[in-house]
């Protein structure tokens, strides 16, 4: 199976939305196109895995972070592999692409946050040399009335 990893474009929005829905984050193709366009304009790293256009087998997003407490680093902010293509090496290749991007930006650390309920993702990251640094809770507050 010949798979290529390439930078995402706004033309990928429909497929990225489909894959995001598989992970439990459903959204419309138009909403994804708006998000994707904005993120690409900001210089965020977004790559896709393709076997044959226009169907995507996965995507990854990463960005540079600067925080007072931790300094500069890269963070993988999203990774999805099509359920039909899991355990085929696509996730590893997407993570490697994000790590290469992080190195090219001068980062010496990459972090990733993985939802506690996504049990299959925890060993995936551990097997790729990531170490659990902490456990945290995420709180959300809608600001609409």
pLDDT in tens, 8-30: 999 999 999 999 999 889 999 99
Say how many CA atoms lie within 13 Å of 45 toward its Cβ.
25
CA distances (Å), 14 to each of 29, 32, 47, 74, 129, in order? 5, 7, 14, 26, 32
Say how many CA atoms lie within 13 Å of 87 toward its Cβ.
3
CA distance 30 to 17: 9
Beta strands in 3-125, from DSSP E residues, in sequence order: 4-7, 45-52, 55-67, 71-81, 110-112
Summarize pLDDT for 40-82 with one digit per residue, the tens. 999 999 999 999 888 899 999 999 999 999 899 999 999 999 9
Task: Find residue 58's DSSP bridge partners.
Answer: 49, 81
């Amino acid at each position: 199976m010949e798979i290529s990893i390439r930078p995402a474009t706004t033309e990928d929005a429909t497929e990225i939305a489909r894959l995001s829905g598989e992970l439990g984050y459903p959204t419309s193709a138009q909403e994804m196109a708006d998000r994707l366009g904005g993120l690409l304009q900001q210089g965020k790293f977004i790559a896709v895995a393709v076997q044959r256009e226009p169907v995507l087998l996965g995507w990854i997003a990463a960005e540079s972070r600067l925080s007072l407490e931790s300094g500069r680093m890269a963070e993988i902010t999203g990774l999805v592999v099509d359920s039909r293509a899991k355990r085929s090496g696509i996730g590893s290749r997407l993570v490697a692409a994000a790590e290469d991007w992080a190195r090219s930006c001068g980062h010496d650390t990459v972090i990733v946050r993985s939802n506690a309920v996504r049990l299959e993702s925890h060993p995936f990251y551990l097997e790729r040399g990531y170490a659990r640094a902490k456990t945290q809770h995420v709180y959300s507050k809608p600001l609409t009335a």
